Amino acid sequence: TLFLLNFYFNVEILVHRLSALLLLGGVLIFLRQLRRGPVRYGRYACSKYTIPARWAWFLQELPAFLVPVLLACTTDGSTHGRRLLLCTFTLHYFHRAIVYPLLIRGRPIPAFIVVSSELFCFFNGILQSHTLLHFLFRFFLCSVAGLCLFALGMILNIHSDHILRNLRRSGETVYKIPRGGLFELVSGANFLAEILEWFGFAVVVWNLPGFSFFFFTVCSIGPRAIGHHRFYLEKFPDYPRNRKALIPFIL
């Protein structure tokens, strides 16, 4: 019993340290983007070594889907509630790794972005799934609200991606103003929706790893939404002036 207690608390300390590393990583990537602009992929890409968009998204997102599934299949004693929470995480990455790549026609992504994203997804997949499968979880009323926010965020995310995919016909390369859905309020509708997803996830799980992931998401894609907003304002003289970058009516 003493050995198990020591092992449990040692693992808990490791989880807290990894979560702190995720928080620090969020701060660093936020400061980097403030100083040097959005991470260089998509419309900002300038790399010789690239991977086709479909393969890039599949490769970089796959670890965050496979790791939780493998851990869930090899872990005994976890409750149905814990596995349900893990399903929210894996559902997002099933869509990102399997469904989304089949739908897009995007620009090639720099190889270093793919590799770094793949490593992050592997690391975060272990952190989130291990915590959900092994640590104490109590279901509160706010958990229902969190699940609703996660579901709403994912629906809005998929819808925003659909709008972006259909802006251009096959073969077109010109940029157009996105319209409809959340894009009527913000330029980074897909980013806002994903942030809402992971905020809901953090509320449901109510632990440090979940909050750390939400914080990292805000720090990594929040500045990108602001960069997109500036791009649209500079490129389109008729761009809606009442549209914000990321937070409706505020920012």
Question: Confidence class of residue 1 from pLDDT cuts 50, 70 and 90?
Answer: very low
* pTM recorded for the entire structure: 0.87
Instruction: Say how many C-beta atoms besides its own lie within 10 A of residue 94's C-beta.
Output: 17
Q: For residue 5, what pLDDT band results from cuts at 50, 70 and 90?
A: very low
pLDDT at 107: 80
Spatial separation of the C-alpha atoms in residues 8 and 21, rounded to whole Å: 20
Highest mean pLDDT among 9-13, 60-64, 77-81: 60-64
CA–CA separation, 217 and 43 (whole Å): 20
Q: Which residues pair with 82 in a beta bridge?
A: none
Average pLDDT over residues 135-163: 85
The CA distance from 143 to 138, in Å, is 9
pLDDT of 88 above 70: yes
Buried b or exposed e, range 203-216, using 16+ CB within 10 angstroms: bbbebbbbbbbbbb
Q: Mean pLDDT for the chain?
A: 84
Average pLDDT estimate for 174-193: 90
Instruction: Specify which residues 186 forms β-bridges with.
Output: 244
Q: Which residues of 142-180 are buried (b: 16+ CB within 10 A; e: fewer)?
A: ebeebbebbeebbebbebbbebbeeeeeeeeeeeeebee
Mean of pLDDT values over 107-119: 88
The pLDDT score that the predictor gives to residue 234 is: 87
